[in-house]
Amino acid sequence: MHQPVTLSRFSQWAIPSLLLILTACSSDPINIAPLPPVKYQTLGKAEGRACGSLGLLATAYNFVPMGINGRVERAYQEALSSVPGTTSLINVEIQDEWFWWVVGTMRCTTIKGDAIKGSQS
Identity of the amino acid at 107 = R
Q: Is 82 helix (H, G, I), strand (E, B) or coil?
A: helix
Domain boundaries, the chain: 42-121
Summarize the confidence of residues 44-68 as an average pLDDT. Answer: 79
Provide mean pLDDT across the span 25-36.
71
For the domain spanning 42-121, the CATH number is 3.30.110
Contact status, residue 47 vs residue 111, Cβ threshold 8 Å = yes
pLDDT at position 85, please?
94
Query: Looking at residue 51, what is its pLDDT?
Result: 95
pLDDT band at 27 (very low <50, low <70, confident <90, very high): low
Model pLDDT, residue 4: 56
Q: 56 or 42: which carries more pLDDT confidence?
A: 42
Q: Provide Rg for the chain, Cα atoms.
A: 22
Is the pTM higher than 0.75? The answer reads no
- Select the more confidently predicted residue: 5 or 51: 51
CA–CA separation, 34 vs 1, rounded Å?
68
